[in-house]
Amino acid sequence: MHTTLAAPRRTTLVREAGFAYFPIALIARLPFAMMVVGILTLVVSARGSLALGGLTSAMTGLGTALVGPLLGAAADRFGQRRVLLLSGTANSLLLLAIAWLAFASVPDAALLAVAFAIGASMPQVAPLSRSRLVGIIGRTFSKDRRASVVGGTMAYESAADEIVFVFGPVIVGLLATTLSPAAPVIGAAVLALVFVSAFALHPTAAVGAAAGGDKPAQAPAKELARPALITTVLGALGMGLFFGAMLTSLTAFMAERGVPEQAGLVYGAMGIGSAALALGVALFPARFTLPARWVVFAGILTAGTLALPFATSVGAMTLCLLVIGIGIGPTLVTQYSLAAARSPLGRSATVMTMLGSAVVVGQSAASALTGLLAEASGASAALLAPVAAALVVLAAGVANVPLSRVRRAALQG
């Protein structure tokens, strides 16, 4: 009697991380996407000042930019679980506080201080998820499969970011319209408490933790300042500038047509194409290199934005956004894939958080500046802001090409 041995099951990331991981990680990043827009909506409604609203949301981004990478470094040093539980709980309490303070008779400075603390304590779910999955890939996949699996993973993660960054503002608008201006912020607080805690307690959080409390092996912090790595951070900053400038200028464009509440729906046209193309990046041939992808898709992004000031109807605007979406997803995937490959030893969470923080600070700063531009000069002038942001992304991509060649030569040498 012959017995045949079953072939070993092919390792997959979904099996290694667990099926529950991906929906938890997706929902856990929603508060991150809702906070900046939610706080802006709350403060404008409660205090009646667009300038104060823009400044308050900008303070949120400033807090994230200054402290976010430190939270990533703490996660690399102490493990993700305790950092996420502490930051998630603090963030939820601060969101509830600003929902009350906005309507209370407290000075504007108090709102700005709490907004900064909200940004500083913002749970870095997206970058820490990337760091976890890259760690799992490095531990469980053979060397010949790692590059393709990392590429596919960064494609999924960028598509997930696109989904929440498109639908986050839509959810904020629905809650603020149907319930109250404070509802989006309270909703974000509840989501952070429940799903960020679930993300923190998931078994994959142990991937980056040091065994037995020992200090993990880490490259010197100065390696984070390598030009090739800084270029990817600048590229991510450009993407954040684009998101903030595009949503704000689009809102001004729709407001001039009497339907500002439809801005989120039109904005969604860009996100759908972007998410689809982000997922498609995994199918690109290896000879279409990461530096080349960045330049090509940043070029498409820039070309789409150049048509924005000439759009005179909602249909024309939607068409522009569909073209722009083709450039966004692949560019983000490429930036994160390059950052993952260039992360110094033991600094993966720090690097991913640097990119995530760059996106948020760019979004916040561009939202505030584009809002002022729209107020002073109208939607036509505001629609030039996404063009400037796209040019930042393209310039960083062009600068990355020779840096990639230098790095490749150094690795081969």
| Confidence grade of residue 238 (pLDDT, cut at 50, 70, 90) | very high
pLDDT at residue 169 greater than cutoff 50 = yes
pTM of the model as a whole: 0.73
Lowest mean pLDDT among 8-12, 62-66, 341-345: 8-12
pLDDT in tens, 266-287: 777 787 777 777 677 767 777 8
Yes or no: say if 134 and 340 are a contact pair by the CB < 8 Å rule: yes
Helix (DSSP H) and strand (DSSP E) numbers for the chain: 17, 0
Report, as an integer, the average pLDDT of 193-214: 71
Give the pair of three-digit tokens for residue 236: 């991510």
Q: Which of 94, 86, 84, 146 lies closest to 116, judged by CA? A: 94
In this predicted structure, what is the pLDDT of residue 86?
92
The verdict on domain 21-210+221-412 having CATH code 1.20.1250.20 is yes
pLDDT at residue 241 greater than cutoff 50 = yes
In this predicted structure, what is the pLDDT of residue 184?
84
- Please tell me the distance from the alpha carbon of residue 384 to that of residue 248, in angstroms, as a whole number: 12
pLDDT in tens, 400-413: 888 766 655 544 44
Yes or no: say if 248 and 366 are a contact pair by the CB < 8 Å rule: yes
- Strands in 101-208 per DSSP E: none
pLDDT in tens, 127-164: 788 878 877 777 777 777 767 777 777 777 777 777 77
| Confidence grade of residue 213 (pLDDT, cut at 50, 70, 90) | very low
